[in-house]
């Protein structure tokens, strides 16, 4: 008697760790290829043009982890994916995607491979995790498309289809319909005539995964410059008016034992917008938009150890994303001291230096203002230490700016006093298009670094090419000199910059040293004067003797909680150097303030100018600074 059998089941019937890893790599390649387009259509929740950059940074962490992971079992593989995505997550979409992967990993615990039904259950869990991570889920975003995809693949599997290729293809088709509909679900998207950028990134990921499962062909990284973009007049619906509910996109990771996501969510509810709480038990990533990043880090510290604190200025990002005709973006670290209005008017992007008072860490000028810094300096028994920006901060800034401009020039505090320039060089080699990023050593600090940055930004604002901006910077560096009158040698002693014995000698002789930044970027004692009377007059005479009276000058004064003294120095300088064209005063930050304390004055001068009103200042080339 013959036994009847059903038709043979064909197709891709399982995913193991190896196959999943290759499929994810193909999907990630698709997202990376689309990154610039995703940046350009990013108008929700704020039009800061960084969704593509955030997804690139999130998924590159996954790529790097998969390159090291060789397990054929599915459970350990998806766990590596989830952990690396959480560590590298950036922005709303990155944090939501990381939480989606965590749901997948929870649904694959101990599994060697997935059949289609196991896969569908894990995707549904990932969708649930992603929605639960959001403080205020909004339909018409990535979460909507994830939900639609999860429902459709479960429907296909429930109808008896066991082939991953066919099920994924049907799920992708429904996800694309949901993506197109996001334009109608959110007013910001409808007005701009675009789909949601985060949702588009998720569909890109699905497209690459589906294509690999169908064909076995891995994705290739291509240049996304040729992608069709929205019409010029609708690319950014809010480009004419900048209206952000909160200014800083703030993130950190809380590390501890048995972390309570509900309590952490309640802790942050109400202090900002776009709240996403991603992670499980031992590691929680907090993403939120606020005006006071320091409050976020302080609240986070109540639950565990705070790691990876960062705060991106969305107002600054939005201006960069909507600038027309700006070929070169100029960035710097917060060791540069410049007035806020100059930074904003010239579109300079600032990467904060890290500041540490013992175990408490801050982002310079972001989570700790200059006024707060000096108050902490006076009252905290622990002397602060500064450290260069985290590599991820530099890389994130470079990726973002390179996605919106032809070139990025970043100017950093003198390499003779800090490793920031070297860190920027390393970060610049790790972006998707390293040829678009040029880190440079300003050979200066504080107000001097600020003047070099200002000059570079003026050239960039005038429409100069990257070659012209770089050449201009190289010309201007030796024409920029900086002098510092320390408020008190006590802080330099605490920081280990000056031996206590030298302070005792200086106090005995009533001597006041003046620091000088030389052409090689070194910070040296340029001289000293004796006696406490008329110290400002003596400081100005010290500066005057080192200038060429035939030159014209631009001057920037940075003051450490002594604005009246700064005004007095400005007046004395105008009398001593009549050829000064412009003097501005700003607050002194941590670069030199940490060594001089309150009362420190820094004077920087750029020489050799002829400026026309409304035009960038350029070196005349006919003069040079005096000896």
pLDDT in tens, 402-433: 988 999 999 999 999 899 999 999 999 988 88
Residue 497 has pLDDT above 80, yes or no: no
- Specify the pLDDT at position 404: 86
b vs e for 557-592, b when ≥16 Cβ sit within 10 Å of the residue's Cβ? bbbbbbeebbeebbebbeebbeebeebbbbbbbbbb
Residue 376's CATH number: 3.40.50.10170
* One domain for residues 276 and 208: no
Higher pLDDT, 226 or 283: 283
Q: What is the 3-state secondary structure (H, E, C) of 384-430?
A: CEEECCCHHHHHHHHHHHHCCCCEEEEEECCCCCCCHHHHHHHHHCC
Is residue 573, in this structure, part of any structural domain at all? yes
Range of the domain at 610: 480-619
Residue 595 has pLDDT above 90, yes or no: no
Is residue 6, in this structure, part of any structural domain at all? no
Residue 497's CATH number: 3.30.1180.10
* One domain for residues 492 and 467: no
* One domain for residues 335 and 449: yes
- Specify the pLDDT at position 9: 53
Q: What is the pLDDT of residues 476-489, one digit of tens each?
A: 999 999 999 988 87
User: SS3 for 517?
Assistant: strand
Mean pLDDT of 385-402: 89
Higher pLDDT, 602 or 269: 602
- Specify the pLDDT at position 321: 63
Chosen domain end from 295, 312, 329: 312
* One domain for residues 274 and 321: no
- CB-based contact 338:370 (threshold 8 Å): no
Is residue 410, in this structure, part of any structural domain at all? yes
- Specify the pLDDT at position 319: 73
Distance (Å, whole) CA 431 – CA 427:
7
Dihedral sign for Cα 120, 122, 127, 132, please. positive
Residue 617 has pLDDT above 60, yes or no: no
Task: From 532, 485, 530, select the one nearest 511 (Cα to Cα).
Answer: 530
- Specify the pLDDT at position 230: 38
What percentage of the chain has pLDDT greater than the value 90?
A: 66
* One domain for residues 547 and 517: yes
Q: What is the pLDDT of residues 50-90, one digit of tens each?
A: 899 999 999 999 999 999 988 889 999 999 999 999 999 99
Q: What is the pLDDT of residues 522-580, one digit of tens each?
A: 888 888 888 778 999 999 999 999 999 889 999 999 999 999 999 999 999 999 999 99
* One domain for residues 153 and 46: yes
Residue 611 has pLDDT above 70, yes or no: no
Chosen domain end from 201, 218, 235: 218
* One domain for residues 85 and 165: yes
Strands 580-587 and 273-280: unpaired
Q: Give me the half-sphere count of Cα atoms (radius 13 Å) on the Cβ side of residue 520.
A: 4
Chosen domain end from 199, 218, 237: 218
CA angle 99, 104, 105 (to 5 degrees): 95
Mean pLDDT of 351-378: 90
Q: What is the 3-state secondary structure (H, E, C) of 532-563?
A: CCCHHHHHHHHHHCCCCCCCCEEEEEEECCCH
Q: What is the pLDDT of residues 301-333, one digit of tens each?
A: 999 999 989 998 888 887 776 665 689 999 999
Is residue 602, in this structure, part of any structural domain at all? yes
b vs e for 193-228, b when ≥16 Cβ sit within 10 Å of the residue's Cβ? ebbbbbbbbbbbbbbbbbbbbbeeeebeeeebeeee
- Specify the pLDDT at position 325: 64
Is residue 188, in this structure, part of any structural domain at all? yes
Residue 605 has pLDDT above 80, yes or no: yes
* One domain for residues 265 and 329: no
b vs e for 111-142, b when ≥16 Cβ sit within 10 Å of the residue's Cβ? bebbebebbbbbbbbbbbbbbebbbeeeebbb
Is residue 229, in this structure, part of any structural domain at all? no
Domain count, the chain: 4
Judge residue 308's burial from the number of C-beta atoms within 10 Å of its C-beta, 0-12 exposed, 13-18 middle, 19 or more buried: middle
* One domain for residues 436 and 501: no
Q: What is the pLDDT of residues 96-154, one digit of tens each?
A: 999 999 999 998 877 889 999 999 999 999 999 999 999 889 999 999 999 999 999 99
Which strand ranges, in their side-by-side order, compose the sheet holding 248-255? 273-280, 283-290, 248-255, 305-313
Average pLDDT value for the chain = 87
Is residue 161, in this structure, part of any structural domain at all? yes
- Specify the pLDDT at position 71: 80
Residue 228 has pLDDT above 60, yes or no: no
* One domain for residues 161 and 296: no
Task: From 330, 421, 291, 392, select the one nearest 53 (Cα to Cα).
Answer: 392
- Specify the pLDDT at position 257: 93
CA 42 remoteness from chain centre: 17
Higher pLDDT, 223 or 333: 333
pTM: 0.79
Is residue 5, in this structure, part of any structural domain at all? no
Token pair for 524: 């040296």
* One domain for residues 36 and 144: yes
Band (10; pLDDT cuts 50, 70, 90): low
Between the alpha carbon of residue 268 and those of residues 147, 253, 275, 302, the distances in Å are 26, 14, 8, 12
- Specify the pLDDT at position 327: 93
Mean pLDDT of 337-353: 93
- Specify the pLDDT at position 625: 37
User: SS3 for 170?
Assistant: helix
* One domain for residues 353 and 463: yes
Residue 286's CATH number: 3.30.70.980
Q: How far apart are the first and last CA of the chain?
A: 109
Q: What is the pLDDT of residues 151-176, one digit of tens each?
A: 999 999 999 999 999 999 999 999 99
User: SS3 for 16?
Assistant: strand
Residue 159's CATH number: 1.25.40.340
What percentage of the chain has pLDDT greater than the value 70?
A: 89
């Amino acid at each position: 008697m013959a036994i009847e059998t059903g038709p043979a089941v064909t197709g891709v019937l399982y995913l193991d760790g190896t196959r999943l890893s290759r499929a994810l790599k193909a999907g990630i390649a698709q997202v990376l290829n689309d990154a610039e387009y995703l940046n350009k259509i990013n108008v929700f929740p704020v039009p800061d043009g960084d969704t593509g950059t955030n997804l690139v940074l999130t998924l590159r962490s996954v790529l790097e982890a998969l390159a090291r992971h060789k397990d054929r079992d599915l459970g350990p593989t998806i766990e590596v994916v989830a952990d690396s995505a959480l560590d590298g997550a950036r922005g709303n979409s990155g944090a939501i995607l990381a939480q989606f992967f965590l749901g997948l990993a929870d649904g694959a615990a101990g599994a060697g491979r997935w059949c289609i039904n196991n896969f569908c259950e894990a995707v549904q869990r990932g969708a649930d995790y992603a929605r639960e991570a959001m403080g205020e889920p909004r339909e018409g975003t990535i979460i909507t498309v994830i939900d639609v995809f999860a429902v459709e693949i479960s429907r296909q599997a429930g109808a008896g289809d066991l082939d991953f290729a066919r099920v994924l293809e049907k799920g992708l088709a429904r996800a694309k319909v949901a993506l197109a509909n996001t334009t109608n679900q959110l007013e910001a998207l409808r007005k701009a005539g675009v789909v949601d950028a985060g949702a588009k990134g998720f569909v890109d990921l699905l497209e690459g995964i589906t294509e690999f499962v169908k064909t076995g062909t891995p994705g290739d990284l291509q240049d996304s410059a040729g992608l069709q973009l929205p019409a010029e007049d609708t690319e950014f619906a809010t480009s004419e008016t900048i209206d952000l509910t909160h200014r800083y996109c703030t993130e950190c990771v809380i590390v501890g034992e048995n972390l309570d996501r509900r309590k952490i969510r309640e802790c942050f509810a109400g202090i900002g917008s776009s709240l996403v709480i991603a992670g499980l038990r031992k590691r929680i990533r907090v993403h939120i938009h606020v005006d006071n990043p320091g409050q976020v880090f302080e609240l986070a510290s109540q639950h565990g150890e705070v790691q990876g604190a960062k705060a991106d200025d969305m107002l600054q990002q939005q201006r960069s994303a909507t600038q027309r005709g700006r070929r070169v973006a100029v960035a710097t670290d917060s060791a540069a001291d410049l007035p806020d209005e100059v930074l904003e008017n010239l579109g300079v992007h600032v990467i904060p230096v890290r500041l540490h008072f013992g175990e408490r860490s801050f982002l310079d000028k972001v989570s700790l203002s200059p006024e707060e810094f000096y108050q902490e300096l006076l009252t905290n028994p622990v002397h602060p230490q500064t450290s260069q920006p985290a590599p991820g901060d530099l890389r994130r800034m470079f990726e973002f700016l390179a996605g919106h401009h032809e070139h990025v020039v970043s100017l950093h505090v003198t390499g003779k006093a800090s490793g920031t320039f070297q860190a920027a060089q390393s970060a610049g080699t790790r972006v998707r298009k390293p040829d678009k990023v040029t880190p440079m050593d300003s050979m200066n600090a504080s107000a001097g670094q600020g003047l070099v940055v200002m000059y570079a930004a003026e050239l960039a604002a005038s429409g100069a090419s990257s070659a012209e901006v770089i050449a201009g910077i190289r010309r201007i560096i030796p024409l920029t000199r900086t002098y510092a009158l320390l408020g008190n040698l006590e802080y330099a002693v605490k920081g280990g910059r000056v031996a206590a014995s030298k302070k005792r000698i200086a106090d005995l002789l009533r001597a006041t040293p003046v620091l000088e930044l030389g052409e090689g970027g070194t910070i040296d004692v340029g001289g000293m004067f004796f006696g406490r009377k008329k110290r400002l007059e003596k400081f100005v005479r010290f500066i005057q003797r080192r200038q060429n009276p035939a030159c014209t000058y631009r001057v920037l004064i940075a003051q450490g909680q002594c604005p009246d003294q700064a005004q007095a120095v400005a007046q004395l300088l105008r009398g001593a150097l009549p050829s000064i064209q412009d003097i501005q005063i700003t607050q002194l930050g941590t670069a030199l303030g940490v060594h001089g304390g309150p009362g420190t004055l820094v004077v920087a001068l750029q020489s050799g100018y002829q400026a026309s009103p409304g035009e960038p200042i350029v070196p005349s080339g006919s003069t040079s600074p005096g000896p």
